[in-house]
Amino acid sequence: MNDLQKELTALKEKIANLESRIAAEPVAKWQPKGGYWQVDCEGDVVAVDSFSHQKEFGTKRITKEQAERAAVEMRRFNRLLALRDELCGDDGNWLAGRNNYWVYYDYEEDNYGFCSNSIMQTIGLVYFTSEQTVKRACEMLNSGEVEL
């Protein structure tokens, strides 16, 4: 084996060693970017002076407009989650093999309705445990008793 072949073999070994070290390193997990606008616990959009503080929870946005849109969606989600917890008690979690119900808004009909599924959990939905409780939630929403 000549010197160039020995050098090539050594480089291949070094590459293999580096690739195995890269594979062993933990993958950096995504975190929200954060920003200077935050949706606070009251649902208000407030300016903040830190770009990194508490960004992991996902309540900070880069622009005020983004934070205002997020505040509307957070309120809707949190209020529906609170309604579910009141109607379903401690049983309000998605379970495979059982019908799980969620609320949707139908713009053509201008009212709330519901769907169910027992095999796929859609991320970001609030699930109700029975048809009776989701019907009650829709009644409360459609009557105006509950506003999201």
Q: pLDDT tens digits for 20-69?
A: 888 888 878 777 787 888 888 888 898 887 665 666 778 889 999 999 99
In the predicted structure, residue 145 carries a pLDDT above the cut 90: yes
Tell me the β-bridge partners of 103.
114
Cα separation, 62 vs 140, whole angstroms: 35
pLDDT at 103 (0 to 100): 95
Mean pLDDT over residues 130-134, rounded? 94
**Considering the domain boundaries, does residue 148 fall inside one?**
no
**Considering the domain boundaries, does residue 58 fall inside one?**
yes
**Considering the domain boundaries, does residue 133 fall inside one?**
yes
pLDDT at 20 (0 to 100): 85
The CA-based diameter of the chain, rounded to the nearest angstrom, is: 87
pLDDT: is 129 or 51 the higher one? 129
Residue with tokens 């997020």: 70
Query: What one-character-per-residue DSSP string does 92-121 give?
Result: -S--TTS-EEEEEEETTTTEEEEEEESS-P
Return mean pLDDT, the chain.
87
**Considering the domain boundaries, does residue 100 fall inside one?**
yes
**Considering the domain boundaries, does residue 63 fall inside one?**
yes
pLDDT at 51 (0 to 100): 60
Q: What is the pLDDT of residues 97-111, one digit of tens each?
A: 888 999 999 999 999
Q: How many domains does the chain have?
A: 1
Mean pLDDT over residues 64-79, rounded? 94
Domain limits for position 15:
3-143
